[in-house]
Amino acid sequence: MAATYYADPAEAESFAAALLRAGGGLPQDEAQLMAKCLVQADLRGVDTHGLARLQQYMTRVKDGLINPTPKLEFEEKTPVAAHLDGQNAFGFIVATKAMADAVRRAETYGIGIVTANHSNHFGMAATYVQQALEKGMISLVFTNSAKQMPPFGGVETLLGISPFAAGAPSENEVPFILDMAPSVVAKGKIRKAARRGESIPLGWAYDKDGKPTTDAEVALNGSMAPIGGPKGSGIAILMDIMSGVLGGAAFGGEVGDQYKETRPQNVGHTFIAIKPGTFVDPATFRERMDTLVQRVHNVRPAEGFDRVLFPGEPEYLLSVKRRREGLAFADAERKMFEQLQAEFGVKPLRLSETPLNLTNGQ
């Protein structure tokens, strides 16, 4: 069985921040903020969007494709709406600042909406939903991304696998966190099958002529399938409207590919925060949310299921485990951390081959 290496989340955050400062040229506050976003993804099991991406992010900075020291300023459109030019900064920085501004507006006016352009990949969309939840807000998060999917019925890729995320707070139960890409699976699953020489289920991807395929290699040179045919394709188009068309970012297949292209991505995002207290007493809202969670939990599990979970709950349960046992990394990540720490002279990240027993949490 492949080895797993465990790291204290707090130490992983310091490690990532030190690297982003030393190798990425980010100021201390921004390095800390981005490191926190990456650790949140690893805590929730979205390992494809956590520290595993550090090397690639550092390469983009080294190649001059990311601006590590933007001077971000909001352009107010109305009291509830603003725009942020991301100045080609890391998407994590742009998104965190934009959601904070949307929340600030919602605190006063009941709703806040912020668009952003000239941004980059912002990682796990749920990060910004969690940020709004900390302030008791309902939120909607939109982003677009590089093309990987054809519109329904088409052959050529035009749409991004752009995750839509939404959240709502509860009182004693788990909050609602829906964070979903509009493709049937993440591309990483197809890469993994190709590496192992395995086939993929029909319905995950198409070949280069738009025909469904079970061959992972063929799929890598083809395109990804949207969830529910025209429905997933429609959601991906909505993401492009809300993120690219509305806020002045790239759209319709023009977002830069951070893996393949040496140009700024010009990703767009939109963040909407809604204060539940505008409509009902906030405590009543959270109690009603608890009731909804309990009603979902009380549904009799179908065959093959132990229990019925609320959206965001699988990731929440994993984050509880990982706060205790540590973040889990594979051997490829251990090697990448060693290489980066040597290259940039930062304090090595302590990794354990057995689960940790952390009592302090994070």
Q: What are the residues binding ligand NAD (CB under 6 A)?
A: 46, 49, 121-126, 143, 145, 161-163, 177-181, 186, 309, 311-315
Nearer of residues 68 and 312 to ligand NAD, judged by Cβ: 312
Residue 136 token pair: 């008791």
Of 204 and 337, nearer to ligand NAD (C-beta) is 204
- CB of residue 242 vs ligand NAD: minimum separation in angstroms? 14
Closer of 80 and 193 to ligand NAD (Cβ): 193
Q: Closest-CB residue for ligand NAD?
A: 163
Output the smallest distance, CB 125 to ligand NAD, in A: 4
- In angstroms, give the least distance from the CB of 124 to ligand NAD: 4
For 147-164, b/e burial (b = at least 16 CB within 10 A) is bbbbbbeeeebbbbbbbb
For ligand NAD, give the closer residue by CB, 46 or 89: 46
Q: Which is nearer to ligand NAD, 45 or 70 (CB)?
A: 45
Instruction: Output the CA–CA distances (angstroms, integers) from residue 184 to 69, 122, 162, 202, 231, in the order listed.
Output: 37, 21, 12, 11, 11
Q: What's the closest the beta carbon of residue 262 comes to ligand NAD, in angstroms?
A: 19
To ligand NAD, the closest distance from the beta carbon of 310 in angstroms equals 6
Residue 111, class by beta-carbon neighbours within 10 Å (0-12 exposed, 13-18 middle, 19+ buried)?
Answer: middle
Catalytically active residues are 121
Torsion over CA: 274, 277, 279, 284 (sign): positive
Q: Kindly state the smallest distance separating residue 213's Cβ from ligand NAD, in Å.
A: 20
Report the residue number, 33 or 124, with the smaller CB distance to ligand NAD.
Answer: 124
